[in-house]
């Protein structure tokens, strides 16, 4: 559960994620994720719809989502890439947008696009079990199972890597046929659990 | 506010837990792991399905469970590999010339110096030899020593002691009403009339919840006389009467029908 202390400022959160609050709060549904008309159209087209509300007021507001673990990410101008479903809450000062991710999304079964958060402030992301934060450097690229990937920050290139060979087709697949390879400099958030993915059983 | 701990290839522990839910393997050679338990890795690691090929000798030496072959892979190479299982608690155990039997859904990975065999108790696997393995449990594991009676759902596995037997609470089941209660549930059941009983020297592993880690579909056991489990034929009573479904059949047998 996430507690947010507010003094007249606002946070954006996933619709319906508020579980309790103390003090004075006003909740407002933000059509199209608070990104204006263009953002709304982009989200509709890319399938990264987010139902977002704005909480504003004074007091403490508590957010939670399906008993998931919550990880706080402090952003100082960099960009956070996260699946819309894993984004719980952001400071109002952070901008959200949509970006193309390539083949990774397709293997996860959640689309070719992902959500970006940028600016200065904090964002809260949910994961099934506490996320492990892994650093990627030039010398040490990281491979992640698409089902366990939650989010990443920094200047990272993603490659979709596949170990499919003839054995996969005769039923002797390794079960780890698809990975995302991250190269560059940055941090990757991985959850200790796997979502069911389209490529997961291959 | 302190940020989350950031791990890189050097700060990840070698063959130890990162947090209660994720385990880091310092791989230099080969490990067996269950499909889909790898969440991330650094370095050069290949995953091979278990079948014929150049891993034949390794598999002949440490994998003796053809029914589970489809669920296991061999990781080969160098690097650090993170394992996790549906955010259950994960722990590693060291075996030293020992044996340990564990629910098949709970094993994540093991070193090839161990050898994996199917237990004669359906749904359980036995690991024999010296080496390390990683297993999941729903909540932290508690170690207890026999003699003990445990709830079937809380049992994770046991080491070095003879196989368990079923224990039924006799007093509760006695008489006609007891039979009716046990077989139909009428009259209320406490849910604790049935336990596994362990005797002898060894260790029993329990998890702190009765929600079990879902078992793997392990396929059918070979149809052979003397093998307990799905493969064995259901003993037919001599009666020619139509058999009632489910637990009621037991009630029917009690009345000699």
- Domains held by chain B: number: 1
Domains and CATH numbers, chain A: 2-190 (3.60.160.10)
Per-residue pLDDT tens digits of chain B, which is 257 residues long: 345 678 888 888 888 888 888 899 888 888 888 887 888 888 888 887 776 566 667 777 777 766 666 778 888 888 888 988 888 888 888 888 888 888 888 888 889 888 888 887 777 888 888 988 898 888 888 888 888 888 888 888 888 877 778 887 766 555 666 566 556 655 555 566 678 888 888 888 888 776 666 655 444 455 566 656 544 444 444 445 566 655 565 556 556 55
- What range defines the domain where residue B165 resides? 138-211
A122: left (phi over 0), alpha (psi -120 to 50) or beta: beta
Q: Name the residue facing A132 among B49, B51, B82 (closest C-beta).
A: B82
- Chain B hits for A168, Cβ within 8 Å: 49
Best residue of B13, B83, B87 to probe chain A, by most A CBs closer than 10 Å: B87
Among chain A residues, the shortest Cα distance to B42 is held by A142
Whether residues B42 and A143 touch (CB distance < 8 A) is answered with yes
Contact at CB, B85 and A140, closer than 8 angstroms: no
Assigned domain for B164 exists: yes
What's the rounded Cα separation, in Å, for the pair A158 and A9?
36
On whether any CB of chain B is under 8 Å from the CB of A3, the answer is no
Does residue B27 sit within a domain? no
Contact residues, A window 159-188, toward B, CB-based 8 Å cutoff: 163, 167-168, 171-177, 187-188
Q: Per the domain annotation, does B9 fall within a domain?
A: no
Residue A6 tokens, joined:
């507010």
pTM for this one? Answer: 0.74
User: Is the bond into B147 cis (omega within 30 degrees of 0)?
Assistant: yes
Please check whether residue B18 touches A, CB under 8 A.
yes
Neighbours of B158 (CB within 10 A): 28
Q: How many CB atoms lie within 10 A of CB B200?
A: 12
ipTM of the complex: 0.72
Give the dihedral sign, CA A146/A147/A148/A151.
Answer: positive
pLDDT digits (tens, 9 = 90+) for B88-132: 888 888 888 888 888 888 888 889 888 888 887 777 888 888 988
C-alpha B44/C-alpha A142 separation (Å) is: 10
Whether B51 sits inside 8 A of A167 (CB atoms) is yes
């Amino acid at each position: 559960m996430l507690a947010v202390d507010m003094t007249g400022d606002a946070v954006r959160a996933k619709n319906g994620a508020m579980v309790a609050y103390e003090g004075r709060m006003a909740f407002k549904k933000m059509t199209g994720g608070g990104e204006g008309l263009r953002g709304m159209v982009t989200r509709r087209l890319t399938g990264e719809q987010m139902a977002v509300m704005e909480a504003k007021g004074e007091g403490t507001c508590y957010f939670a989502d399906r008993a998931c673990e919550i990880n706080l990410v402090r952003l100082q101008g960099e960009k956070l890439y996260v699946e819309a479903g894993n984004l719980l809450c952001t400071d109002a000062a952070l901008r959200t947008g949509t970006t193309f991710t390539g083949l990774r999304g397709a293997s996860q079964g959640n689309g070719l696009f992902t959500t970006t958060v940028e600016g200065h402030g904090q964002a809260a992301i949910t994961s099934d079990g506490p996320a492990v934060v892994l650093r990627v450097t030039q010398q040490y690229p990281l491979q992640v199972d698409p089902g366990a990937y939650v989010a990443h920050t920094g200047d990272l290139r993603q490659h979709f890597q596949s170990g499919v060979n003839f054995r996969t087709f005769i039923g002797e697949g390794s079960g780890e046929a698809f990975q995302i390879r991250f190269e560059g400099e940055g941090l990757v958030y991985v959850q200790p659990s796997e979502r069911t993915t389209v490529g997961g059983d291959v | 506010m302190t940020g989350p701990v950031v791990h890189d290839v050097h700060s990840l522990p070698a063959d130890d837990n990162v947090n209660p839910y994720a385990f880091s393997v310092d791989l230099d050679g080969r490990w067996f792991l269950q499909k889909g338990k790898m969440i991330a890795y650094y370095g050069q690691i290949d995953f091979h399905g278990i079948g014929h090929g150049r891993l034949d000798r390794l598999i002949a030496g440490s994998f003796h469970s053809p029914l589970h072959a489809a669920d296991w892979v061999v990781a080969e190479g160098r690097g650090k590999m993170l394992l996790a299982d549906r955010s259950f608690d994960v722990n590693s155990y060291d075996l030293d010339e020992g044996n340990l039997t564990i629910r098949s859904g709970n094993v994540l990975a093991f070193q090839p110096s161990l050898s994996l065999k199917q237990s004669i108790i359906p749904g359980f696997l036995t690991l024999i030899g010296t080496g390390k393995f990683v297993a999941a449990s729903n909540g932290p594991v508690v170690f207890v020593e026999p003699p003990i009676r445990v709830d079937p759902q809380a049992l994770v596995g046991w080491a070095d002691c003879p196989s368990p037997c079923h224990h039924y609470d006799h007093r509760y089941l006695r008489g006609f009403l007891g039979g009716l209660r046990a077989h139909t549930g009428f009259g209320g059941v406490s849910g604790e009339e049935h336990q596994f009983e362990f005797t002898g020297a060894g260790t029993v592993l329990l998890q702190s919840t009765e929600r079990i880690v879902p078992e793997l579909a392990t396929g059918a056991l070979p149809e052979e006389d003397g093998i307990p489990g799905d493969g064995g034929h259901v003993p037919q009573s001599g009666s020619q009467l139509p058999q009632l479904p489910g637990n009621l059949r037991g009630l029917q047998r009690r009345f000699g029908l």
